[in-house]
Each structure stands twice: as structure tokens, then as C-alpha cells.
Amino acid sequence: DAGVTQSPTHLIKTRGQQVTLRCSPKSGHDTVSWYQQALGQGPQFIFQYYEEEERQRGNFPDRFSGHQFPNYSSELNVNALLLGDSALYLCASSLAAGTQYFGPGTRLLVL
Amino acid sequence: TQLLEQSPQFLSIQEGENLTVYCNSSSVFSSLQWYRQEPGEGPVLLVTVVTGGEVKKLKRLTFQFGDARKDSSLHITAAQPGDTGLYLCAGEETSYDKVIFGPGTSLSVIP
């Protein structure tokens, strides 16, 4: 049984570009949450998707958007990248409000 | 605004020593989780505490939830090099609420 998977593992972009990160939840899970973890800090909640709808959102600008597909996989899109968007982006899946399982993350570097 | 604080920020100890890390907030949480994160990986859930005053043990790790459900502690007995990592506490005010993470305590256990 595969756990949470994320792709790509690493990514380098330049300021102003757009990026799409992908997440496949653990089998049987229907809820996906995205977090941003800057170096030396704890993860910051971006948003959560359930039944293809954004259910909760943290304090992130509209440049951060997402999507959940019928198979429960999810994408995180970031437009107009800034240097400060450089971070580890974590995806976590759960069954409704149950325990969250985290993926290994995507390391994004914006130059 | 919910805020979780953790102390100490960094901790370096010798193998075999005991240690305690703390997680504090001015908010009341319905549940609080402790995670351990190793470099290049996502956080891994260690325990969830729900009831005020609750104590849970996981081998050499002892977790306590404060009576008022605003704070928690993690005590490690006879630390091992394998305990090295970033220890994160995270809380939810209510079920289905976004998860708020603390900044973490970076633990290094020296053989």
C-alpha cells in the first residue's frame, strides 16, 4: 500500500514563473491538505481539499490555488513566483478528519 | 489568531541523557499532535492527545497534554542518536479545523 506520494521531488524556477506540484493521497483517503515549510520553520497550512472543493484556507494570497480530482489526487499551483516562495511544499492526506499522513514534499527553489 | 510556541528551539545532548521539549499556546485545542521530521522527509505522526491532563507513552517517549488543553510536553528518556530530528507540535481548535504547527524543536543526540 503506497503512502502519500508527491512530484516532482525538486524544482528550480525563476521569479515570475508558474509552478504546479502534484500529490497522490494514501489509498482510501479522501482529504488532501497542502503546507508550506520554509527552512527552519514549522509547516504553514495553505489549504485543504475535500470532495473536489476547497474546504479550509490559510493566510496565503490568491497566487496559491489548487485542485482536487475525482480520484482524490491534488495539485497545488503557484503563479507569479517570488523568491520568498522557496520552501518545502508538503502534502498530507487523511480520511475525513482523521490522522494526516504526510508525503516527502517537493523542494522548490525560486531564483 | 492561533499561535503555537515551542521551546527550546535547538537542543544538543549526549546519548543516554533525558530531555523535555515544550509546546505552548494561548488557545485551547481540541487535540494536539506531536510529529518527528527528518531532513528531506515529511513529518511522521508520533501521538495525538485529546483529553486535558492526558499522558501517553511510546517506548522512551512520554507525552502530556495540559489540563487546560493549551500546552503539551514531550519527554524523552535515555535519548538515542536515532531520536535526532525536528519535533513539531500541531493543534486543531475543532475537528475539521486547519492544523496549526509550531516552529519545532531541533534535537541532535550525539553518540
Is A68 an interface residue toward B (CB < 8 Å)? no
Whether residue B18 is predicted with pLDDT greater than 90 in this model: the reply is yes
Is B97 an interface residue toward A (CB < 8 Å)? yes
Contacts of B96 in chain A (CB under 8 A): 55-56, 96-97
pLDDT at B92: 81
Whole-number Å distance between alpha carbons of A90 and A100: 11
Whole-number Å distance between alpha carbons of B54 and A54: 33
Whether residue B1 is predicted with pLDDT greater than 60 in this model: the reply is no
Confirm if B28 and B15 have CB atoms less than 8 A apart. no
The mean pLDDT value for B27-49 works out to 91
Contacts of A35 in chain B (CB under 8 A): 101
Return the bridge partners of B25, or none.
Answer: B4
pLDDT at A107: 96
CB contact under 8 A, A99 and B45: yes
pLDDT at A56: 87
Please report the DSSP string for A3-58 in residue order.
Answer: --EEE-SEEEE-TT--EEEEEEPPTT--EEEEEEE-TTS--EEEEEEETTEEEEE-
Whether residue B22 is predicted with pLDDT greater than 90 in this model: the reply is yes
Is A42 an interface residue toward B (CB < 8 Å)? yes
C-alpha distance from A79 to closest chain B C-alpha (Å):
23
Residue B12, H or E segment: strand B10-14
**Residue A70 pLDDT grade (very low, low, confident, very high; cuts 50, 70, 90):** very high
pLDDT at B2: 61
Average pLDDT, chain A: 94
Return the closest-CA partner of residue A41 out of B103, B54, B43, B74: B103
pLDDT at B96: 60
Whole-number Å distance between alpha carbons of A74 and B97: 19
Whole-number Å distance between alpha carbons of A24 and B63: 31
Which residue is listed with cell 488543553?
Answer: B69
User: Which distant-in-sequence residues (6+ apart) come within 8 Å of A10 by Cβ?
Assistant: A106, A107, A109
Whether residue B73 is predicted with pLDDT greater than 70 in this model: the reply is yes
CB contact under 8 A, A105 and B44: no
Whole-number Å distance between alpha carbons of B45 and B99: 13
Contacts of B21 in chain A (CB under 8 A): none
* Span A72-83, pLDDT tens digits: 999 999 999 999
Lowest mean pLDDT among A28-37, B15-24, B97-106: B97-106
Q: Which three cell numbers stand for residue A70?
A: 475525482
C-alpha distance from A82 to closest chain B C-alpha (Å):
22
A23-50 b/e (C-beta count within 10 Å ≥ 16 → b): bbbbeebbbbbbbbbeeebbbbbbbbbb
Whether residue B20 is predicted with pLDDT greater than 80 in this model: the reply is yes
**Residue B13 pLDDT grade (very low, low, confident, very high; cuts 50, 70, 90):** very high
pLDDT at B95: 59
Whether residue A99 is predicted with pLDDT greater than 90 in this model: the reply is no
pLDDT at B82: 95
